Structure 1
Amino acid sequence: MASHIPKGYAQDRLHRYLAHFTRDPSNVTDLYHEAIGWATDEERRERQKKYCEVASDYYDLVTPLYEQGWGQQFHYTPIVPGVTLRESMTAYEKLFAELACLKKGMQVLDLGCGIGGPARTIASTVGCKIVGITNNAWHVERGMALTKQAGLDGMVSLVQGDFLKLPFPNESFDAAYSIESLCYAPDPAACYKEIKRVLKPGAPFTFHDFAMTEKTSRFAVPPRRGTYGPAGDICWAWRMPGWPDFWKVFKMWSPFRGFAHMIYRLLILLGMRPREVSSLMDMMWYCTKAVAIGGKMGIFTPMYLFVCRKPAKAKE
């Protein structure tokens, strides 16, 4: 079985991804905030042209870290008190399949399947056949190894492809869904058009994704008390999900993050780790904190659910 660490996983993957977000690709230890959040129109257009490359480089880098830290399911989920995060994720995936109107025997498309964690849960629960699509080759290799291990290789398959150019015939799926993926499409309208093309008339399409709320305006509401895993709230982790998850949340606790950063800076100084590691840690830390803070303020949700259906007739 393929390891969760890809062959050749090393500094080159880190450099390749970070180089997309600096005006000096030879020095990715100095990321330009303007190139990330305030890029020029020309910079944005150039990066958009390479959207598949940027996304694939990102997942080459972070997928092993995601699997090591959080498991095979790369999405947010409602937390069930007293239940582990993994169990909460599985319970949500089963509920999601119900909301998505998935039935036994259906041919279903999973857009942005990752390494296939949700697809395996849904296929084994519902009895439908799922084709997952991702633009990352490692997702396919790792995902199919895990699918075979689970004995589901006859029900779940993963292919490499592009949301904007789906490699499937017209009207070839009974249903489609996506979990935290379509927000990364460079042209959402083109993506939805392709999904409509490959669905049969009347077929359901369901997805949950990142979304800003009506409270998005700056300082619209004061931060709410209470938080969750990405905020590194170890008291919450102690009380709520279960002991195995405490250590996952502990790694996101601010004091631990500061300590880990000091250790890595020492290792970098001693030449035992590449300098780029510091940039990667900062990038992932600030992204995670932004999700937590946005959720606490009520201006953002990582799992806004949409339930749609392709018209049964052409004029609908």
Structure 2
Amino acid sequence: MASHMPAGYAEDRLHRYLAHWTRDPSNVSKLDIAAITWATEEERRARQKKYCQVASDYYDLVTPLYEQGWGQHFHYTPLTPGLSIRESMTAYEKTFSGLARLKKDMRVLDLGCGIGGPARTIASTIGCRIMGITNNAWHVERGTALTKEAGLEHLITFIEGDFLKLPFADESFDAAYSIESLCHAPDPAEVYREVKRVLKPGAPFTFHEFAMTEHSPAPWYYGPAGDIGWAWKIPGWPDFWKVFQMWDPFRGCAHAVYRVMILVGMAPPEVSTLMDTMWYCTRSVVQGGRMGIFTPMYVFVCRKPAGGLES
């Protein structure tokens, strides 16, 4: 099977994505904290207008890194005592499919499907037919390859498209779901309208999404926090190396190594910016979890009115 690294994975991917988050696109070798943290309304609106390109450039860059370091399931998960992060993800996806009212032979829409980790868990468990849509071409190619390797190509299909302009007929799906993807939409209400259009009357729509909240289930964030103490206790070795790579001392050492590589010309300066960007985002999520004001795992269960499109 093909490598998880796409052909031509090169520096231009770094430039394309990092240029969205700086006030000086000609210089992306340094993290522009002001542009990220104190963006003006004008800057936010400009990014929202090109949301598809921003999201696609992001996943062009990070998908191989996510798959290598985190696995094929690009989402956070409630932790199950005694299970590793990966095992907890699989267990959660099965629970999620129950909340989503998914059943055998249903035609199901997966919005923002990534490379199809959750879709493969759900389809293999339930036997429903899943159509995954993503705005990233590499997700379609990689997801299709992984699905064929798993022997699930008869149940899962991937297409490239925009979930604000779904390329499907009215009332053509029995159910729909999304997992940590609606956060990329400039206006989630537009997604809801499109989902309502393509769902059959009475069909469910379930999504797992980022949300601000007064309380968060802890410690879901021990992985991105690099908390090797929790990694050792829950469940032991299966998570240890994955979490160790996010531990601050390890990150500091890795950053030092890359700085030497940059200095001697073995890596472009933008690699340092990428590492800073990923660390900044990860630590922001962790801090929100520790404060109890944010969770990436808020689940909404909805249903299209039985009366149809005009209800």
TM-score range, shorter chain: over 0.9
Q: Name the counterpart of 1:220.
A: none
Q: Cα RMSD (Å) of the superposition?
A: 1.6
Alpha-carbon distance in structure 2 between the residues aligned to 1:252 and 1:31: 19
Q: What amino acid sits opposite 1:83 in the alignment?
A: L
Structure 2, unaligned runs of 5 or more: none
Alpha-carbon distance in structure 2 between the residues aligned to 1:289 and 1:267: 25
Q: Name the counterpart of 2:117.
A: 117
What aligned pairs does 1:268-307 form with structure 2 within 5 A after superposition? 268-307=262-301
Aligned residues: 309
Q: What amino acid sits opposite 1:273 in the alignment?
A: A
- SS of 1:63's partner is helix
Q: Taking structure 1 as reference, are residues 9 and 225 closer, same or farther at Cα in structure 2, changes over 3 Å only? A: closer
Q: Name the counterpart of 1:162.
A: 162
Segment drifting more, 32-41 vs 59-68: 32-41
How far 1:38 sits from its partner (Å)?
A: 1.8
| Pairing 1:185–2:185 present | yes
Instruction: Identify which of 283, 295, 312 aligns with 2:306.
Output: 312
The 8 Å contact of residues 14 and 61 in structure 1, kept in 2 or not, is answered as yes
The 8 Å contact of residues 174 and 204 in structure 1, kept in 2 or not, is answered as yes
Alpha-carbon deviations, 1:238-264, whole Å to 9, x = none? 111231210000011111111111111
- SS of 1:207's partner is strand
Identity percentage of aligned residues: 75
Q: What amino acid sits opposite 2:8 in the alignment?
A: G
Alpha-carbon distance in structure 1 between the residues aligned to 2:219 and 2:139: 37
Q: Taking structure 1 as reference, are residues 226 and 159 closer, same or farther at Cα in structure 2, changes over 3 Å only? A: closer
- SS of 1:44's partner is helix
Alpha-carbon distance in structure 1 between the residues aligned to 2:90 and 2:221: 21
The 8 Å contact of residues 233 and 253 in structure 1, kept in 2 or not, is answered as yes
Q: Taking structure 1 as reference, are residues 278 and 167 closer, same or farther at Cα in structure 2, changes over 3 Å only? A: same
- SS of 2:224's partner is helix
How far 1:296 sits from its partner (Å)?
A: 1.4
How far 1:291 sits from its partner (Å)?
A: 1.1
Segment drifting more, 64-73 vs 287-296: 287-296
Q: Name the counterpart of 1:25.
A: 25
Q: Name the counterpart of 2:134.
A: 134
Q: Name the counterpart of 1:53.
A: 53
* TM-score normalised by the chain length of structure 2: 0.96
Alpha-carbon distance in structure 2 between the residues aligned to 1:226 and 1:95: 17
How far 1:36 sits from its partner (Å)?
A: 1.8
Q: Name the counterpart of 2:102.
A: 102
Alpha-carbon distance in structure 2 between the residues aligned to 1:212 and 1:57: 26
Q: What amino acid sits opposite 2:257 in the alignment?
A: I
Alpha-carbon deviations, 1:70-94, whole Å to 9, x = none? 1110111111222121111111000
How far 1:227 sits from its partner (Å)?
A: 5.7
Q: Name the counterpart of 1:36.
A: 36
Alpha-carbon distance in structure 2 between the residues aligned to 1:26 and 1:169: 43
Q: Taking structure 1 as reference, are residues 312 and 169 closer, same or farther at Cα in structure 2, changes over 3 Å only? A: same
- SS of 1:230's partner is coil
The 8 Å contact of residues 52 and 162 in structure 2, kept in 1 or not, is answered as yes
Alpha-carbon distance in structure 1 between the residues aligned to 2:269 and 2:28: 9
Q: What amino acid sits opposite 1:313 in the alignment?
A: G
The 8 Å contact of residues 226 and 296 in structure 1, kept in 2 or not, is answered as no
The 8 Å contact of residues 79 and 241 in structure 1, kept in 2 or not, is answered as no
Alpha-carbon distance in structure 2 between the residues aligned to 1:279 and 1:31: 5
How far 1:28 sits from its partner (Å)?
A: 0.4
Alpha-carbon distance in structure 1 between the residues aligned to 2:155 and 2:141: 16
Alpha-carbon distance in structure 1 between the residues aligned to 2:107 and 2:47: 34
Alpha-carbon distance in structure 2 between the residues aligned to 1:295 and 1:205: 26
Q: What amino acid sits opposite 2:47 in the alignment?
A: R
The 8 Å contact of residues 134 and 159 in structure 1, kept in 2 or not, is answered as yes
The 8 Å contact of residues 174 and 199 in structure 1, kept in 2 or not, is answered as yes
- SS of 2:299's partner is strand
Segment drifting more, 15-24 vs 170-179: 15-24
* TM-score normalised by the chain length of structure 1: 0.94
The 8 Å contact of residues 59 and 136 in structure 1, kept in 2 or not, is answered as yes
The 8 Å contact of residues 2 and 141 in structure 1, kept in 2 or not, is answered as no
